[in-house]
Amino acid sequence: MTELTELTAVRLVEGYRKGEFSPVDAVRAALRRAEEIQPAVNAFVRLDEEAALAQARESAERWRRGEPAGLVDGVPVSVKDILLMRGGPTLRGSRTVPATGPWDEDAPSVARLREHGAVFLGRTTTPEFGWKGVTDSPLSGITRNPYDPSRTAGGSSGGSAAAVALGAGPLSLGTDGGGSVRIPAAFCGIFALKPTYGRVPLYPASAFGTLAHVGPMTRDAADAALMMDVITGPDTRDWSGLGPADGSYVDALGGDSGDSGGGVRGLRVAYSPSLGGQVAVRPSVAAAVRRAVEGLASLGAYVEEADPDFTDPVEAFQVLWFSGAARVTQRLGPDQRELLDPGLREICDLGGRYSALDYLAAVDVRMELGRRMGRFHDTYDVLVTPTMPITAFEAGAEVPRGSGHRRWTGWTPFTYPFNMTQQPAATVPVGVDAEGLPVGLQIVGARHTDGVVLRTAHALYAAGVGGIAPPARL
């Protein structure tokens, strides 16, 4: 019999409805799994067994009465320790954040999950203020990869990725300002979606401004669609949030055709292996992504090798990102600044030296990039790239040893451009390298076409192209 920790959220809800098992069973199993994996991968900063089991018992009673509270009633969920969740501190991976309360407010996405009956297992690890593409911090230590604990889980939502990959709840909320749900999902072999900016409301507003997105981290695209149907409800606290979504993301998974292509027949796909030769991609990664793209073509998509018309915007991104980091830490005194991750302290010092004109020049680059991608999507429905040019490297390092990179942006060239453009982008696991480490494929859509991105990803899963074997039990 399949263990409860191996079931998707969709399958758990189906089981609750049929009376095959209860939310209490599922939550107990997820908590037990979380405790088992914690010594090896350090996915959580806090677990709340008592509160989770109380929520599970309430959910079980609702299901017994045939009156579930919502779409994910009784499903175990974890939340990255960047997003507010009432009842406990949100320390954001930093020794500079006091644990004193009151912690009496939920972030919008957390509030929507609570309204739909989700059961909160605990908080997942993040680097300090989510500043980099790996997950380690002076507060909570190093988060490790489920497939090889000597390697990084990626970041900044690394705890969420490790938890989902290892069965400690099928759903997790992450944040993504430059790749922070997609990087760890690709390294840990799970699915993640960075939605169109504003589609999932965010409060408090991020110091990284409109680069910062909230998104689902899940076992597959179907679970992400279910989660999106919950967390996309508008919230008046987010001044830049979008209005209600146009229909259900779950309903959009099959598309309009209803054929064996899962809704991708006739989809116009641009496949860019290296962004026009700008990115050196490891051969094993390139091969796995190419095989998956061939799978899309076999489903009836029109696939053409084509590169978007832009050069690497890393300098402009770093002006925006480093300025945001400087803003996060602006009010810290000298003693508190000494408590920061040394790398964060370094980029804050750089960010604090930019002028308003430097920042606005970076905004100009961003707007031009958005224009170019808008024109690109007049021709193509989706852009497909590798999510990462490499697989997971040694844990505890910001960059791979010997890479020559100074900052995490050096090895994430496929992710941060699409934070600048605010487009939806997902990662799907499509294979492993010779060392058994996961490879991710990225699907990028035009703004507001989150349903198309999810439908494309779902077609890969349905065809057996997406998804890899779970990691061995730790």
Token pair recorded at residue 467:
């998804």
- Asked whether the predicted pLDDT for residue 298 surpasses 70, the reply is yes
- HSE-up (13 A, CA, CB side) for residue 30: 35
CA–CA gap between residue 82 and residue 4 (Å, rounded) = 28
Q: What is the CA radius of gyration of the chain?
A: 21
CA–CA gap between residue 290 and residue 431 (Å, rounded) = 11
Quick check: 143 and 110 in contact, CB under 8 A? no
CA–CA gap between residue 415 and residue 231 (Å, rounded) = 22
CA–CA gap between residue 439 and residue 188 (Å, rounded) = 9
Confidence of residue 473 (pLDDT cuts 50, 70, 90): confident
Look up 180 and say whether it is catalytic. yes
The single residue of 80, 132, 172, 323 carrying the catalytic annotation is 80
- Asked whether the predicted pLDDT for residue 261 surpasses 60, the reply is no
- Asked whether the predicted pLDDT for residue 452 surpasses 80, the reply is yes
Give me the pLDDT at residue 262, please: 63
Hey, what domains does the chain have and what are their CATH numbers?
Answer: 4-462 (3.90.1300.10)
Instruction: Say what the pTM is.
Output: 0.97
CA–CA gap between residue 83 and residue 181 (Å, rounded) = 14
Angle 160-163-166 (CA atoms, 0-180°, nearest 5)?
A: 145
The single residue of 78, 157, 180, 323 carrying the catalytic annotation is 180
Quick check: 38 and 159 in contact, CB under 8 A? no
- Asked whether the predicted pLDDT for residue 136 surpasses 80, the reply is yes
Token pair recorded at residue 93:
């991976």
CA–CA gap between residue 43 and residue 159 (Å, rounded) = 4
Residue located via tokens 């002028």: 355
Angle 416-417-423 (CA atoms, 0-180°, nearest 5)?
A: 100
DSSP string, 191-204: EEEEPSTTSS--SS
Give me the pLDDT at residue 255, please: 60
Confidence of residue 101 (pLDDT cuts 50, 70, 90): confident
Quick check: 187 and 92 in contact, CB under 8 A? no
Look up 298 and say whether it is catalytic. no
Query: To 10 degrees, what angle do helices 221-231 and 450-462 make?
Result: 150
Report the chain's terminal Cα–Cα distance, integer Å.
20
CA–CA gap between residue 455 and residue 464 (Å, rounded) = 14
The single residue of 22, 78, 156, 160 carrying the catalytic annotation is 156
Token pair recorded at residue 46:
């806090």
CA–CA gap between residue 432 and residue 285 (Å, rounded) = 8
Beta strands of 367-406 (E only): which ranges?
382-386
pLDDT tens digits, 365-398:
999 999 999 999 999 999 999 999 999 999 999 9
Average pLDDT over residues 234-253: 95
Token pair recorded at residue 349:
């010092």
Confidence of residue 258 (pLDDT cuts 50, 70, 90): very low
Strand partners, 426: 193, 443
CA–CA gap between residue 452 and residue 278 (Å, rounded) = 27
Look up 80 and say whether it is catalytic. yes
